[in-house]
Amino acid sequence: MHIINYFIQMRKFIIAIISILSIICVSCQRQTNDSQRDYKKVWLHRANTIEKAQYFQDKYAGLEIDITYLDSLHTFIVFHGGGLSEPEPVKLEQWFEEVGNTNKLKLWLDFKNLSNNNKMQALTELNRLCKKYNISKNNIIVENWNAKDLSAFQENGYQTSYYIPDFNPQKASKFDIQKHTYKIRKAISSYNITTISGYHYQYQFMRDSFPDQNVLIWYINNDKKVQEEYIQLANQDDKVKVLLIAEEIPENEK
């Protein structure tokens, strides 16, 4: 009898252990799925160097780069400008060539000098590069503060985003908020804009004032806790299509 009771108790113990392990496995799987879901909208901010783009392209859902069109060369360079200290710029074509896997890339192109004078030449060049490197226009966001000249890219099949004026709604006067709201609303209605982009501290303003617009935001500070909060926010809000975050190659891996 003692032996029978022993085996009965052992059987109960083993069943309990199996049950616990099953719960743990399900929980881990759920956490893995949640993690994947949480980060599917997260793109890397300012992947302007080939080294940085290559290092991070498999970690992030997409890459943001700064581009400037040079009339003299009839091509783009990957370059921010504006007084920032940055490495020697490369041509966008060279960036595509060396980064590779361009048919899988999702790109946010922050167009630094889009104007009425260069928009058609720039569009022609971007079309050429997309064809050469097998890049879907659906995978490219062209962003600029100049809503009028973005329309040429939108009509040609690219995703576009209107970069709203940089102001902090929490600190701005009521008059300034009204002024910016009017300007943005006018641009949206005049140029059929469906997506707007701005800093993380403009998120609530964009969502409250323009609830029908898709939103792109960036959080490029170093506070990991706040960064995670914005990642979760992006995941939960269907109108947030992309969240940019900043990360650099670790010094010991350069």
In this prediction, residue 226 has a pLDDT band, given cuts at 50, 70 and 90, of very high
**Domain residue spans of the chain:** 1-39, 43-253
Mean pLDDT, residues 171-198: 97
Architecture of domain 43-253: Alpha-Beta Barrel (3.20)
Identify the pLDDT of residue 32. 41
- Residue 254: the pLDDT is 77
What is the 3-class SS of the chain, one letter each residue?
CHHHHHHHHHHHHHHHHHHHHHHHHHHHHHHHHHHHHHHCCEEECCCCCHHHHHHHCCCCCEEEEEEEEECCCCEEEECCCCCCCCCCCEEHHHHHHHHCCCCCCCEEEEECCCCCCCHHHHHHHHHHHHHHCCCCHHHEEEEECCHHHHHHHHHCCCEEEEECCCCCCCCCCHHHHHHHHHHHHHHHHHHCCCEEEEEHHHHHHHHHHCCCCEEEEEECCCCHHHHHHHHHHHHHCCCEEEEEECCCCCHHHC
Mean per-residue pLDDT, 147-156: 97
The average pLDDT across 61-80 equals 96
